[in-house]
Amino acid sequence: MEKLDILVMAAHPDDAELSCSGTIAAQIAAGYKVGILDFTQGEMGTRGTPAIRLQEAQKSAEILGLNMRENLGFRDVFFQDDEEHQKAIARVIRKYKPEMVLANAISDRHPDHGKGGALASKACFVSGLRMLETELEGKNQEPWRPKVIYHYIQNNHINPDIVLDITAFWEKKMASIKAFKSQFHDPDSKEPESFISAPGFLDFIEARAKEYGHKIGVKYGEGFTVERVPGVKNLFDLV
Ligand SMILES: [Zn+2]
């Protein structure tokens, strides 16, 4: 199985694109292997169907150049942060052995986001426990704990601990978001309007990226919060 450098976890297909696809594109351009693990198919969303959203997720994966994208098929809105769900995620962590995990926001408007962020953190921890047994294709898996988890920021403003300059990847980020055609504003759509399909929603995404970019003196940025103090080997690695 191909080892990943970064595994992005997302409660819904399109969470990763809206919040951190500029970062994903930047890290892939720098030579890292990146995958996305979607927890649910977003079947409770107002627009689109699970089948359409899976197709859209694959299209976005191609645009970003992901090494893998999988969907755990958890229940949208009603998935639990419990042993069964932590183990299902641990199985994927042990399969791809990522060094870094990017996870949902620590809290947000949609309760799945904070819940998904906490579930991702716990799954990373339990995945490193030798006594937790998991199997893949009939074989016992080795424990694996990612070195670091960063939480991306979603709808609600959270003051970021780290901002990554995504200016060079802005167009790619927007292309990856627009791959989810059923979800965002389309003047020809006959589906009901939703929170994210309102015409101003993508303007908000741009405004947010400009705000975080402004904090570090670049045009566009994506922000993250940390679980432990970030360390660097060279102070000049910070911009
Ligand atoms: Zn979401």
Q: How far is the CA of 76 from the centre of ligand 1 (A)?
A: 9
Q: How far is the CA of 235 from the centre of ligand 1 (A)?
A: 35
pLDDT of residue 62: 98
Is the pLDDT score of 1 beyond 70?
A: no
Q: How far is the CA of 115 from the centre of ligand 1 (A)?
A: 11
3-state secondary structure of 86: helix
Q: How far is the CA of 156 from the centre of ligand 1 (A)?
A: 12
Q: Are 57 and 71 in contact (CB under 8 A)?
A: yes
Q: How far is the CA of 105 from the centre of ligand 1 (A)?
A: 10
Q: How far is the CA of 15 from the centre of ligand 1 (A)?
A: 5
Q: How far is the CA of 90 from the centre of ligand 1 (A)?
A: 21
Average pLDDT along the chain: 96
Q: What is the per-residue pLDDT across 18-69, written as a single tens digit (0 to 9) for each? A: 999 999 999 999 999 999 999 999 999 888 889 999 999 999 999 999 999 9
Record the pTM.
0.96
Dihedral sign (CA 100, 158, 41, 65): negative
Q: How far is the CA of 154 from the centre of ligand 1 (A)?
A: 8
Pick from 42-51, 104-113, 201-210: least confident: 42-51
- Give start and end residues of each alpha helix (H) in the chain: 15-29, 50-64, 83-96, 111-127, 170-178, 201-215
